Structure 1
Amino acid sequence: MSGYDVAAVRARFAALQRGDLTFFDTPGGSQVPDSVRAAVATAMRDAAANLGGTFATSERVAQIVADARAAAGRFLNADRGAVVFGQNMTSLNFALSRALARDLKAGDEIVVTRLDHDASVSPWLEVAHDTGAVVRTAGIDEATGTLDLADLEAQLNDRTRVVAFTWAANSIGTLVDAAQVCALAHSHGALAWIDATHAAAHVPVDVEALGADVLTCSPYKFCGPHLGLAYGRPEVLEAWRPYKVRPAPDAPVGSRFETGTQPYEQLAGFTAAVDYWHEVDAAGAGHAHAMALGQRLLDGLRELDGARLIGRPTMEGRVPTFLVAFEDRDAATVADALVARGIAASASDSFYCLGLKDLYARRGALRLGVFHYTTADEIDAVLAGLTAALA
């Protein structure tokens, strides 16, 4: 893409200089720039302490936490006091849903969708098990893998308390009109609860513009460390009683849901990842670069005999994540053939998206993810590898 220097971007990643692997498994986790790795190492060297002390290392920890909250505010366009850090997105989703569950009663309803990663479904199934609430599932157009908004709206009623949905499907790349779903939820007095784990690696996040009540994501998907990040609208978080130890602080409101000592070195890495993200314009020019390469990959996939794309057949309404099934090959065998060529890609029969499992061939499917550091030569290499594997 003219004006976007992918070589300069790649130069910031030691992992991309090794030459032993070409990474197409970014939906399962991105590579980490050197600045993030350095920030983690520095924090472990200079801030091995806990909060509350008046000595230098403790004060450095306090600054790391403050910087991370500010970075989260920038990344999400959110009140920095309304962000919550945790072990990972799944753990945060269980914790926050449990806090909400204190106020639910039998017969209350939660709506999820068939596009969702199970981290956005199982927490609500457990809540329903414990409270007698009901979980409903909004359907999809199976031909395109897109959310059926009419069916979603038909699921909503005066008993709906939460609409929990995935903004971008980690398996097939489908984008959902998150602002429209949030508006639908609010029109029925329900909370809009967004899983942005996959979307945040590809599109700008603005919780205010979306109208999100809760939004969760994971920095390891956008060049950060393994960590969970959530936003909760302050009025919502303030209304919940968190599961926490008694001496833990109650302000800012997001910190009420952060149990135990936080991984401060990971918070330092998160701040570095957000800085990197904005410096290289990964969600702007970088995403446009990835989408252009996604079109190149999509064009090549159409030429492969015995391969079938699951999901949207064009680049419209998706991120550059593709799921491919094969007529007479196990997807795992194809993945192994790519790995033998130094191409990292993975196969599965669900990718934790159980609502779409019936769309997969019995032989499973191969997932390919294009990212802002992918090159045209790498697209051509994976297409050559697929051609050879299917010959």
Structure 2
Amino acid sequence: MAFDPMKVRPLFPALNQCINRQPVLFFDGPGGSQVTQSVLDAMSHYLGHFNSNLGGAFFSSIETSALMATARHIAQTFVNAPTADSMVFGANMTTLTFQLSRTISRDWQEDDEIIVTALDHYSNVSSWRQAAEDKGATVHQVRINETNCDIDYDHFNALLTPRTKLVAITYASNVTGSLIDVQRIITAAHAVGAKVYVDAVHYAPHRLIDVQALGCDFLVCSAYKFFGPHLGIAYIAPQWIQALRPYKVEPAPNNGPARFETGTQNFESLAGFIAAVDYLAHYSRTLDTQALTLRQHLSRSFDHYQAYEQTLSHYFIKKLLRYNNVQLFGLPHYKQRTPTFAIRINAFQPADIANELGKQNICVWHGSFYAQGLCEQLGLINKGGVIRIGFMHYNTFNEIDTLFEALDCYLTLK
């Protein structure tokens, strides 16, 4: 049975509103998805009844400690970590990455080398460049393949040496939607003794993560990209949980995942995160009465989401290719990509088009989206970047038709 977005759209309050008596079309998912009522309810319920901190002997603190433990187990299931002790929470992916970069780089030396890519969001570039600068280490940046907006694997192989300490790589481009062969990168990096830090922020809403299958050392994502609240999530492989020496306030706990977490955690967001993962598994539960685990429900739900998103992508690309004044960056088909598209329309600035669409409650982004290296290599930095149109599984074919109707005055048929 094919996925029907109309079965989930009523669960999202934002999708069912009108602004100035007009419906709203959210094509801004790559910048942040909408949330379900269940996420809102979970956050409100925690704040309204149990707002506390960890370690107390009273009911609300006990409830908060249980919430923290549950969130770790849910995160473990979401990424298929071998243990809940590998899961760490923080404000967002960027904050976690800067924090972890200090810890991971603590023992770097002047002859060490780090590899980043031109495809990545710069949260996974600047953090490592600045850490390397502090230690006098050398940073190399992998070029992109401009034809398909993947990374240049030959260039990566040429940069990889026994001196490489860490490779930072995105799982999917937050601009072009390109899916990266991260397994290939990890295998090569581990062969020379380098750690691999994976940015899965853009990947997580579209494909189910499996860190054990990947064998990565670190992986980070953000719940607000997959229908949850603003919360950063990091997986740290078991061999590094106690081996690394994080910067900590004394005398905070120095064992387990809490040793990587600074200050009071955002417990209401943890409650929302749990609800978001439950929502992601919900579609599978509606299909039949099979007694499946949460991971199995997630896997089956994601299979349906992915198949549907590919039909959206195919539909969008087919309509886009009818025009001769549009440039699409990345692969012109629905395979090996997420449903995220970077385009430019000849003779028009991305900001101008985004502003006009915004007046019609059509939400798209414009600019470079912190993918500085990508836009520099493509020569787009001083040209206003691109228009980014991103679909989630709550989007519909009718919404795509409305988008093209709004763009009609800018487009020229072949």
* Structure 1 and Structure 2 fold alike (TM over 0.5): yes
Following superposition, the deviation at residue 3 of structure 1 comes to: 2.6
Alpha-carbon distance in structure 2 between the residues aligned to 1:138 and 1:262 = 35
Q: Is the 8 A contact 2:25 2:399 kept in 1?
A: yes
Report the TM-score when normalising by structure 1: 0.97
Alpha-carbon distance in structure 1 between the residues aligned to 2:325 and 2:355 = 17
State, as a whole percentage, how many aligned pairs show the same letter. 41
Following superposition, the deviation at residue 44 of structure 1 comes to: 0.1
Which secondary structure state, in structure 1, belongs to the residue aligned with residue 94 of structure 2? helix
Q: Is the 8 A contact 2:200 2:221 kept in 1?
A: yes
Q: Residue 283 of structure 1 aligns with which residue?
A: 302
Q: Residue 64 of structure 2 aligns with which residue?
A: 61
Distance 1:84 1:146, change over 3 A: same
Q: Residue 266 of structure 2 aligns with which residue?
A: 263
Matched, 1:294 2:313: yes
In the TM superposition, 1:1-391 aligns within 5 A as: 2-19=1-18, 20-78=23-81, 79-251=83-255, 253-280=256-283, 282-348=301-367, 350-358=368-376, 359=378, 361=380, 362-390=383-411
Alpha-carbon distance in structure 2 between the residues aligned to 1:255 and 1:208 = 21
1:39-62 Cα distance to aligned partner (Å, 9 max, x none): 000010111111111111111101
Q: Once structures 1 and 2 are overlaid, which stretch shifts more, 274-283 or 226-235?
A: 274-283
Where structure 1 has 5 or more consecutive residues not aligned to the other structure, the ranges are none
Alpha-carbon distance in structure 1 between the residues aligned to 2:358 and 2:306 = 25
Alpha-carbon distance in structure 1 between the residues aligned to 2:44 and 2:323 = 45
Following superposition, the deviation at residue 246 of structure 1 comes to: 2.1
Distance 1:135 1:16, change over 3 A: same
The residue type paired with residue 318 of structure 2 is D
1:252-290 Cα distance to aligned partner (Å, 9 max, x none): x22111001101111111111111111125522012111
Which secondary structure state, in structure 2, belongs to the residue aligned with residue 60 of structure 1? helix
Alpha-carbon distance in structure 2 between the residues aligned to 1:126 and 1:306 = 40
1:112-144 Cα distance to aligned partner (Å, 9 max, x none): 111100000001111111000111011121111
Q: Residue 295 of structure 2 aligns with which residue?
A: none
1:188-235 Cα distance to aligned partner (Å, 9 max, x none): 110011000100111110000011100011000000100110000121
Q: Once structures 1 and 2 are overlaid, which stretch shifts more, 217-226 or 229-238?
A: 229-238
Where structure 2 has 5 or more consecutive residues not aligned to the other structure, the ranges are 284-297
Alpha-carbon distance in structure 2 between the residues aligned to 1:294 and 1:213 = 32
How many pairs were matched up?
388
The residue type paired with residue 169 of structure 1 is S
The residue type paired with residue 405 of structure 2 is A
The residue type paired with residue 163 of structure 1 is V
Which secondary structure state, in structure 2, belongs to the residue aligned with residue 43 of structure 1? helix
- Backbone CA RMSD of aligned residues: 1.3
Alpha-carbon distance in structure 1 between the residues aligned to 2:348 and 2:309 = 28
Following superposition, the deviation at residue 360 of structure 1 comes to: 5.1
The residue type paired with residue 42 of structure 1 is H
Following superposition, the deviation at residue 307 of structure 1 comes to: 1.1
Which secondary structure state, in structure 2, belongs to the residue aligned with residue 201 of structure 1? coil
Distance 1:225 1:360, change over 3 A: farther
Distance 1:66 1:363, change over 3 A: closer
Moved over 6 A (4+): none
Alpha-carbon distance in structure 2 between the residues aligned to 1:383 and 1:299 = 12
Q: Once structures 1 and 2 are overlaid, which stretch shifts more, 297-306 or 65-74?
A: 297-306
Alpha-carbon distance in structure 2 between the residues aligned to 1:300 and 1:390 = 11
Q: Is the 8 A contact 1:326 1:363 kept in 2?
A: no
Report the TM-score when normalising by structure 2: 0.91
Alpha-carbon distance in structure 1 between the residues aligned to 2:43 and 2:204 = 21
